[in-house]
Amino acid sequence: MNRRQWFQALAAALAGSATSRAQKGRPLANTNLSKPPLLLADFQPRSMLRVKRTKVAKPRFPVIDFHAHLCWTDVLKGEETIEMLATPKEVLPVMDRRGVRMMVTATGGFGKGTQQAIDYWQKPRPDRFIVFTEPWYAKTADPGYPKFQADEIEKAHARGAKGLKVLKTLGLFLRERIKEGPLVKVDDRRFDPMWEAAGALGMPVLIHTSDPVAFFLPTNRFNERYEELYRHPDWSFHDRDFPSDEELQQARLRVVARHPKTNFVFAHVGKAEDLDFVSSCLDRYPNAYVDIAARIGELGRQPRAAKRFFDKYQDRIVFGTDAVPHGIEVPQQIFGDELYQIYYRFLETEDEYFDYAPAPVPPQGRWCIYGLGLPESILRKVYYQNAARLLGLDANWG
């Protein structure tokens, strides 16, 4: 037996035992020198578990999808134009098949763009579509912006907008000279009248701040979202002058604290990797809520903590998917039948180890999820009652 054969025999004998695992951070040595290893990008393992696979075609109760993108505006461009990403004719049949009673198209633009979005989605079907408005970021540096922006919220409300959507643009992209200069902070005082106006008009603020924690770390072999960041290097906030996740989260909390009469819904669970932190936010601020959009991958890999979270905060969580029609870049968000079925399976069943997105490889990180099997009393609140309350809808849907 030569040295290599001896090592191979040893590795085979230890395979599966804890002692054969490499020390943390040190990759296992390649003992098979006859073949080059498979590239990570080509690895698509199929689970051999024989476990229950429940198809949930319809939700237990009607659903309000509080977080979707049926239209889109390049908010930093400053033009009031808005692009419709689908037609009601395409969207409504999916909603009907999957029991989605109402959809919020959050990115409803600003100025005339909001009017267009309302005319296109909400006016013809006010029973099915809700449009939110967005801040007019390109005017942030103008003198008089604070009042202008508050007035714009009032105008949008008069046009029919039911809420305000704030993208992660605030905190991560918007700069003093729009695309140049220092980043504008989430708790910049110029937005104070805007938050107040939204609260006074009963418009909830759907606010996305920061991003997955891994996006703030180097894109290297320790990064749990390595493949996602490799595919989208522009999603990384690791270097340059970006604030840390912690700074962004604290800035958002200062806004929430300063405007207690305004309801803030933290998009994407706020920080789905750290439910203790999110719990502390919800405990401290009764005007804070969360949506679960695009984060069942995070919630579903910590099913016990997630279930406790849903139990404790059952009045503060709203259903959302972050659905984007034709969103091939983001498989976890492609609007369609499959997307909703995965969410319903996650919330309603106790199925184990299934994909959180319709994709050959889990797109946000290589893991699978576990269903929460929530009771009806919680499902009813999360599916529509909490959202209806925030939106001021009179919904008695069972």
In the complex, least distance from residue 22 CB atom to Zn ion, rounded to whole angstroms: 38
Q: Could you tell me which stretch among 92-100, 282-290, 314-322, 343-351 binds Zn ion (CB under 5 A)? A: 314-322
In the complex, least distance from residue 326 CB atom to Zn ion, rounded to whole angstroms: 15
In the complex, least distance from residue 334 CB atom to Zn ion, rounded to whole angstroms: 13
Query: Which is closer to Zn ion, CB of 56 or CB of 106?
Result: 106
In the complex, least distance from residue 323 CB atom to Zn ion, rounded to whole angstroms: 9
In the complex, least distance from residue 84 CB atom to Zn ion, rounded to whole angstroms: 16
Tokens linked to 277: 């932190």
Q: Could you tell me which stretch among 48-56, 175-183, 240-248, 316-324 binds Zn ion (CB under 5 A)? A: 316-324
Query: Would you list the DSSP string of 246-312?
Result: HHHHHHHHHHHHH-TTS-EEEGGGTTTT-HHHHHHHHHH-TTEEEE-TT-HHHHTTSHHHHHHHHHH
Tokens linked to 265: 């819904």
Please report whether residue 187 would count as binding Zn ion according to CB under 5 A.
no
How far is Cα 252 from Cα 204, in angstroms, rounded to an integer? 15
Which of 71, 332, 83, 310 has the alpha carbon at shortest distance from 212? 332
Please report whether residue 322 would count as binding Zn ion according to CB under 5 A.
yes
Query: Which is closer to Zn ion, CB of 322 or CB of 348?
Result: 322
Q: Could you tell me which stretch among 44-52, 229-237, 317-325, 336-344 binds Zn ion (CB under 5 A)? A: 317-325
Provide the β-strand partners of residue 162.
none
Q: Could you tell me which stretch among 211-219, 273-281, 296-304, 322-330 binds Zn ion (CB under 5 A)? A: 322-330
Apex CA 63: angle with CA 286 and CA 349, to 5°?
95
Q: How many residues does the chain have?
A: 398
How far is Cα 67 from Cα 104, in angstroms, rounded to an integer? 6
What is the C-alpha radius of gyration for the chain, rounded to an integer number of angstroms? 23
Report the residue number whose CB is nearest to Zn ion: 322
Query: Which is closer to Zn ion, CB of 294 or CB of 382?
Result: 294
Please report whether residue 211 would count as binding Zn ion according to CB under 5 A.
no
In the complex, least distance from residue 359 CB atom to Zn ion, rounded to whole angstroms: 18
Which spans of this chain sit near Zn ion (rule: CB under 5 A)?
322
